[in-house]
Chains A and B, each alone.
Chain A
Amino acid sequence: MSIDTATAAKVAKLARIQVDEDQLPALAEEFSAILGFIEQLNEVDVDGVEPMVSVTPMRLKRREDVVTDGNQAEAVLANAPDAREGFFAVPKVVE
Chain B
Amino acid sequence: MSELNKLTIAAARDALRAGDTTSAELTEACLSEIDAAGALGAFVHHTPDLAREQAAAADARIKAGDAPAMCGIPLGIKDLFCTKGVPSQAASKILEGFKPEYESTVSQNLFDAGAVMLGKLNMDEFAMGSSNETSVYGNAVNPWKAGNSDADLTPGGSSGGSAAAVAADLCLAATGTDTGGSIRQPAAFTGIVGIKPTYGRCSRWGIVAFASSLDQAGPMTKDVRDAAIMLETMCGHDPKDSTSAELAVPNFEAALTGDIKGKTIGIPKEYRMEGMPDAIEKLWSEGTEMLRDAGAVIKDISLPHTQYALPAYYVIAPAEASSNLARYDGVRFGHRAKLGQGDGITEMYEKTRAEGFGPEVQRRVMVGTYVLSAGFYDAYYNRARRVRTLIKKDFEDVFADGIDAILTPATPSSAFELGADFSPIEMYLNDVFTVTVNLAGLPGISVPTGIDSKGLPLGLQLIGRPWEEGDLLNTAYALEQAAGFAGKPTRWW
Contacts and interface: CB of A to CB of B under 8 A. Distances in A.
A29 B353 CA distance: 21
**Chain B interface helix/strand/loop/mixed:** helix
18 contacts: A15-B353, A15-B366, A15-B369, A30-B363, A34-B363, A38-B371, A43-B308, A46-B387, A49-B386, A49-B389, A50-B386, A55-B441, A60-B242, A78-B101, A79-B98, A80-B331, A81-B334, A90-B348
Q: How large is the interface on A (under 10, 10 to 19, 20 to 34, 35 or more residues)?
A: 35 or more
Nearest to B312: A41
B98 A44 contact: no
A55 B392 contact: yes
A22 B98 CA distance: 32
A58 B201 CA distance: 13
A8 B143 CA distance: 40
A82 B332 CA distance: 8
A66 interface: no
Contact of A34 (B333, B382, B390, B425): B425
Interface string B284-310: 000000000000000000000101101
A44 B242 contact: no
Contacts of B363: 30, 34
B261 interface: no
A33 B345 contact: no
Interface string A38-82: 111111101001111111101011010000000010011011111
Given A56-B466, A58-B243, A40 B389 contact: no
A41 B387 contact: yes
Given A7-B370, A35-B370, A37-B314, 18 more contacts: A8-B366, A11-B370, A14-B373, A15-B365, A17-B365, A18-B353, A33-B424, A38-B315, A38-B371, A41-B312, A44-B308, A44-B390, A49-B389, A56-B198, A56-B441, A56-B466, A79-B334, A88-B332
B144 interface: no
A86 interface: no
Contacts of B336: 81-82
Interface in B345-386: 345-351, 353-354, 357, 362-363, 365-367, 369-371, 373, 380, 382-386
Contact of A41 (B99, B243, B308): B308
A49 to B, nearest CB: 4
Interface string A1-44: 00100011001101111110000000100110111011111111
A40 B311 contact: yes
Contacts of B389: 49-52
**Chain A interface helix/strand/loop/mixed:** loop
B199 A55 contact: yes
B388 interface: yes
B331 A17 contact: no
Shortest Cβ-Cβ A-B pairs, 5 listed: A55-B441, A51-B385, A81-B336, A79-B333, A46-B386
Interface string B317-344: 0000010000001111111100100011
A31 B318 CA distance: 12
Given A18-B351, A41-B308, A54 B99 contact: no
B213 A18 contact: no
Interface string B168-212: 000000000000000000000000000000111000000000000
Contacts of B322: 15
Given A16-B349, A16-B350, A34 B367 contact: yes
